[in-house]
Amino acid sequence: MESRKKKHEHILSYEKILCEEELFKHRKPYDKTVPQRGGDKDFSPDDSWLQAKRLEKFYEERKTVLAEPRVERIGSLVTGEWNPDIQLVELHKEMGKFWSTMGFTDKSKKWLYPEEALFLMETNTLEVWYKGLPVSIQQAYTEFLKNLKFEEYLVYAHLRRIGYVVLRHNGRLLSTKYERMIKLDKHINLKKRKMKMKQQSVFVENVQQDSTPQKKVRLGNSTDSVENCPVEMQVDRDTVTTGGLSRENGKSCSQGSYQLSQRDRLNKDECFRTICKESWNKKEGKINQSEDIHFSRNKQTNVERKTDSEYLNEGENSKQTKCSEWNFEDIRFLDIGVPGDIQLKGGISQKYLPKGIPPLSCEKIDKEQLKQKQKSQRRKETEIRYGQDLDTMDLNFSCDVSQPVKKVSASNWKEYKERLLESLEHNSFKSPVKHFWTDGVVPLIRPEEAINTFSVLKKLQVIPQWEGNSGVTSNTDTKKDFPKVSYDVYKPDAKFRKSSPGVPDHRVCIVRSEEDPPSLSSITSLYSYYDDEVPLHWAVVDDGEIAFYSFDNVSFPTQIFKG
Amino acid sequence: MCNMSATKPIKVYLQNDKPLIWSSTDAVKIREEWRIVGCLIGCLPRLPRQNNHLGLPLQLSKEEVTLLLEKGAILLLNDATGLKEPSEKEREEFIEYREASYQSQVDLFRAERKKEIYQNMANIIEGKKAKAQKEEKKDSSEATEPSEKEEDFSIDVDKVPIPPIPRKFSLVQIFTESPYRLDQEIPAEWSHPESKQEQLRYHVYRDLWNQGFFLSNGSKFGGDFLVYPGDPSRYHSHYIVICIPHDKPMSALDIVRMGRLGSNVRKTVLMCSQDCNQRISYISLQWSGIS
């Protein structure tokens, strides 16, 4: 660097800045090679000329590489303004590929987190200004990392340099494993989920009440668990399970995840219109003649055909009105299970029959006669099959198995399953070997417990094996040493969307080497808190050196011995 | 031993409790003259998106800083480069600087272009001749005189038009080291070593450094330091230093652990401790079988 006379009243110390000739020289990067790492090393120093020469060459190279300045054209630099009150960089315009994985929009302005801004400065993409002067990287290391640990930035930069997409940690996923398996989380409308979440006050991180620019977190696939909601709410929801196959629902799903062709959508719409206001009175088995069954044919010509764009714009609003048209309590489905109960009074009128079928005569079908007929038919069949009348055979079990399971009522699926399990345990079937259970030594299992091999083998374990995902998080002691997960890491992917990043590929926890390694209780509470299969890594930073460690669950198989 | 240079001390800035060196000349000096390795933690300007070679700043470990302070080689400064609102005059000065830089870059570019034209003048003239001859073949009715053409092809270098260069092509520098002048430099307080373990580590570090070795961070090998006979880039380390308090009881398992550690990577484990007379004692561990 050329040195100039230091002008005392000026803000810039010119000896530290490149002069124009130097800048001009750097307009084209002429050397993109980096010194070889490792390579041929000698064992110990001997005073040979060769070693001295090699060392000198290394020092020269290092000097050149370290002294190289960061020179860029103004046109290829993005500019931003540092706002120290909220500790964010406001972007003036976006340019380049980084916006797809960094930054967020709030109040129609684009913002960058300090670690993102610092990283972009170091990669010669961004120039940050503060009140008319550009911020140097040295200043940024002090200013931008005020609320961030130094080690956190080092790990962030380390992962970003090798290409990973690193975002601030977003809380755990609220969708269950089952939902992810059937890809239900992708279908559900995110906005509706957020509203429901606020109502139920589920634990959400990153929510602040002040007016600072906030990344509106759509917790991606952290959708509300379907199981936990009362049944009535489920019905109203825009889910696939409640027949959300209508045109509107198909459109409003998250981008690219559920695409029906236009034709399919229309066909299904038509199907829905055919199941409409009918009321078959189940108890009486009568057709209520006062109400008509509307079999509406494909009335597409009458219906106003909406263009695709209109549907896109309508979005959730149209859906809400469509759903509320149905009165689910009034829809009755014909009970076709018991043929003997059908009693047709006065025959069926012509209009309900398809064309081409002659009108039925008004016969009164005798219930009793029908039953007798069926019975004799069955008897004939069994005689042919078994050679004797089934009625005379005693086919009863020695115990009475006709006892039905006591009816269990619950307000949602999860509760129902739990209560069913409980009732199974408590149900005492009449057993012909009850005397086995009264003694000191009891049988291992009951017949109804032999559901699968696993449940049988489980009984064999004297010391039950701890399962990592036992869901024990209520222990308040663990809150103290609950390690903080800093980042969600995603693999680089063209399909990555900032607005719904999805399930992270890794999670990273950052510790210094001086700190103790995590205790078993903190590890177990972490693994049960994040009960998805995302690997969790600990980044240990030691004076600039970073190493990654992770703890994996190892489960030993239960030994089954023959004989 | 080390070469004590009489020039001004190296400035080390204490930012977020980490000692950092931002000047490239200082980073070079501290390795070549003071045998301090440190750790580079920033992106390399030449190739920012890789992790094999990092660039400035250079982070120093606590022991390194204490040692350098003792030797008077560095000046540990509080980071007063924090952002402050510049005055109107200062803002103007910067705008002037950018403008001047832009103008002189334009001049430089023009000069460069003229040089190029001058160097390739012969080729340009030939090209023009060939082009004219082609055109001549098309309109053969016109009579031409070769002598006239010779004059037409000479180029006046100074009169060649060069298109104006828009401002967005001007080059600027993203400052790694802060270019702004500081009114005063506030020395930082340094309280290392504090605990007994830190003191032990520092004394061991100092003792080994005084013997002429290069020392670096040992966490990659499960120890406190790695000891190199020469510059770490040219030689492998010979010892892994583990600092142990003098009166700490050790079990056979600990010895086995350390022995395995060293033998797997072909380095000697040095167990270092400091006795009551403040002398450092070294015990090396060699793994050998009974054969």
Task: Judge whether B102 counts as a catalytic residue.
Answer: no
Q: What is the mean pLDDT of residues A63-91?
A: 89
Token pair, residue A508, equals 């990273």
Tokens 């450094």 belong to residue: B209
Q: Which residues pair with A538 in a beta bridge?
A: A509, A549
Report the length, in residues, of chain B: 291
Beta strand spans in chain B (E): 10-15, 18-21, 39-42, 55-59, 74-78, 171-174, 214-217, 225-228, 239-243, 268-274, 280-285
Reported as a single tens digit per residue, the pLDDT across A2-12 is 333 334 456 66
Closest approach of chain B CAs to the CA of A478, in angstroms? 29
CB neighbour list of residue A369: distance below 8 Å, 6 or more residues apart: none
Q: How many CB pairs under 8 A join A and B?
A: 244
Q: How are beta strands B18-21 and B225-228 bridged, if at all? A: unpaired
pLDDT for the residue numbered A266: 43
Assess contact for A371 and A340: CB atoms under 8 A.
yes
Helix (H), strand (E) at residue B216:
strand B214-217
**Distance of alpha carbon A1 from alpha carbon A363, whole angstroms:** 111
Q: What is the mean pLDDT of residues A508-531?
A: 87
Assess contact for A183 and A226: CB atoms under 8 A.
no
Phi, psi of A82 (to 5 degrees): -85, 130
Assess contact for B218 and B227: CB atoms under 8 A.
no
Partner residue facing B178 (CB), from A66, A121, A138 = A138
Task: Judge whether B246 counts as a catalytic residue.
Answer: no
pLDDT for the residue numbered A342: 52
Closest Cα in chain A to B177? A138
The answer to whether the Cβ–Cβ distance between A17 and B41 falls below 8 Å is no
Taking CB atoms and an 8 Å cutoff, what residues of chain A touch B217? 542-545
Q: What is the mean pLDDT of residues A148-153?
A: 92
Task: Judge whether B134 counts as a catalytic residue.
Answer: no
Reported as a single tens digit per residue, the pLDDT across A238-277 is 333 333 333 333 333 333 333 333 344 444 444 444 443 3
**Amino acid at site A487:** Y
Partner residue facing B53 (CB), from A35, A54, A122 = A35
pLDDT at A365 over 60: no
Indicate the pTM of the whole model.
0.68
Helix (H), strand (E) at residue A103:
none
**Distance of alpha carbon B233 from alpha carbon B267, whole angstroms:** 17
Structure confidence at residue A549 as a pLDDT band (50, 70, 90): very high
The answer to whether the Cβ–Cβ distance between B229 and A45 falls below 8 Å is yes
pLDDT < 70 positions in chain B: 1-6, 80-82, 139-160, 289-291
**Distance of alpha carbon A333 from alpha carbon A280, whole angstroms:** 7
Structure confidence at residue A190 as a pLDDT band (50, 70, 90): low
Helix (H), strand (E) at residue A458:
helix A453-460
Assess contact for A174 and A141: CB atoms under 8 A.
no
Token pair, residue A372, equals 């007798």
Mutate to test the interface with A, among B109, B174, B243 (most CBs of A within 10 A): B174
Of B51, B34, B35, nearest to B227 by C-alpha is B35
Token pair, residue A255, equals 């981008």
